[in-house]
Amino acid sequence: MTQFIQLLEQGKQTIEDELLAGLNASCAHTSPKFLYDALGSKLFEAICELPEYYPTRTEAEIFSRHARDIAQSIGAGATLIDLGAGNCAKAARLFPQLQPAQYVAVDISVEFLHEAVSRLQHRFPAIDMVAVGMDFSTELALPDSVREENRLFFYPGSSIGNFMPEQALAFLRHLKEACTQDGYGGGGLLIGVDLLKDKSILDAAYDDALGVTASFNLNLLLHLNRLLDADFDVRAWRHRGFFNRQLSRIEMYLEATSKQTVRWTGGMRCFEQGERIHTENSYKYTQQDFINLLTQAGFNNVRFWSDPQQWFMVCHAQAA
Ligand code: AVJ
C-alpha cells in the first residue's frame, strides 16, 4: 500500500507575504517556484520538447546510455528519494536497473503525485512507495515511514541551478546530513547538472524561437493575478532570458513595455518602461566547480557521466 502524506502546506498569508516582499523590493523579484501553476507546469513540459532546450533530452540520453554503470555505482536496495518528482517518469526509468527497496516521491503538493505514484505502484508492486507533499527547499523533514538506511537523494533536471551557489552548498549539506543522520550510512546523491557552454546555445535555450519560454515566464503574471488578486496586464510585459557570463547564470526577467501601475491586495507599484521583475536564475557549472561543491558539502567518491558534447552531467556521490 502506498502512503500519501501532506506535510505543512504554506499558508495563503505566508505566500502573500513572500510575494509582496519581492514585488516591493527596489529590484522586484519573485521565486521561480511561482512559475509552476497548472499551466506553468504544462508550459515547462513543452519547453522540454523544444529543439533549443537541450538539458532534459541530454540528461535522458546520459541516463539511458550509462544506466548499468550508474546503477552499479549506487547498488541495489536504495531508499530512492525523488526531489521534485512531478510525474515520476525520470525515477521510474531507473527502477529496472536500480531496484530500489523504497521509492519516496516528494513534490510541493501531494495532490500532484497521486496519479503518478498510484500508477507506478501498480507497475512495480514489490517496491514500497511513499508520496510526500512538502516544500523541500525550505525544510527537509521526511516522515518516519521513509527508511533511514541507504538513502539516495535523486535531484535531476539541473534544478540545483536555481539556487545561488552558496544556497546550493547549504542545500547539498542538508542532503548529506539527511543521508547520514543517526549513524545510518551507505546513502548518497544522484544529481543532474547543466554545464557551462557557449553563450549562444544558452541564450537560445532560454529564449526560444517559438516563444514557449516567453509564455512560461509571462504566465507568472496570470499566477500572480490569482494569488494576489493583482491586475498585471500580460500584454504590457515582455520576456527576457539571457546568459550572464560574469555570474555564470541564465537570468530571466519580465520587462515592462510601458510605464504602468499594478494593483494588488493591500498595495500597488508603479513600473517604469523597461523596469524588470527578476523571475529566475539558472546557474551553469563547470564539471570541476560542481564536483568541488559536492566535496565541500561533505560528499565523497564522486563519479560522473556526461554526453559527448559535455553539455550536461550526472553525478553520483556518496554520503559516508
Ligand atoms: C527546471 C530550473 C531546471 O533552469 O533550465 C527552463 C527551468 N526556466 N526554462 C532551468 C527553466 C526556463 C529549468 N529548471
At residue 213's C-alpha, the angle toward residues 210 and 215, to 5°, is: 85
222 is written with which cell numbers? 496570470
- With a 6 Å cutoff on the Cβ, whether 215 touches ligand 1 is no
pLDDT at position 320 is: 81
Q: Which residues pair with 317 in a beta bridge?
A: 189
Nearest residue to 63 (alpha-carbon basis) of 78, 52, 74 = 74
* Cα–ligand 1 centroid distance for 77 (angstroms): 31
- With a 6 Å cutoff on the Cβ, whether 31 touches ligand 1 is no
Q: State the sign of the Cα–Cα–Cα–Cα dihedral 48, 52, 58, 61.
A: positive
DSSP annotation of 285: B
**CA 190/CA 55 separation, integer angstroms:** 16
Backbone φ and ψ for 45, nearest 5 degrees, come out as: -60, -40
State the number of CA atoms in the 13 A half-sphere of 220 facing the CB: 27
pLDDT at position 163 is: 97
**CA 270/CA 254 separation, integer angstroms:** 14
Q: Is 204 helix (H, G, I), strand (E, B) or coil?
A: helix
63 is written with which cell numbers? 541516463
Nearest residue to 73 (alpha-carbon basis) of 318, 295, 312, 306 = 318
- With a 6 Å cutoff on the Cβ, whether 192 touches ligand 1 is no
Q: What is the DSSP string of 166-225?
A: HHHHHHHHHHHHHHHGGG--S-EEEEEEEBP--HHHHHHHTS-TT-HHHHHHHHHHHHHH
In order of 54, 103, 248, 251, the CA distances from 199 in angstroms are 14, 38, 10, 12
Q: How far is CA 267 from the centre of its chain?
A: 31
- With a 6 Å cutoff on the Cβ, whether 159 touches ligand 1 is yes
pLDDT at position 90 is: 95
- With a 6 Å cutoff on the Cβ, whether 82 touches ligand 1 is no
Q: What is the DSSP string of 91-138?
A: HHTTHHHH--SEEEEEES-HHHHHHHHHHHHHH-TTSEEEEEE--TTT
pLDDT profile of the chain (320 residues), mean per 10: 84 90 98 94 95 98 97 96 94 96 92 91 96 88 93 97 97 94 82 98 98 98 98 98 98 98 96 98 98 97 98 96
Return the best residue to mutate from 44, 194, 278 for the ligand 1 pocket (most ligand atoms within 8 A of CB).
Answer: 44
Return the best residue to mutate from 59, 280, 312 for the ligand 1 pocket (most ligand atoms within 8 A of CB).
Answer: 280
150 is written with which cell numbers? 541507504
Q: Is 3 helix (H, G, I), strand (E, B) or coil?
A: strand
- Residue linked to cell 510575494: 19
- With a 6 Å cutoff on the Cβ, whether 206 touches ligand 1 is yes
**CA 4/CA 113 separation, integer angstroms:** 9
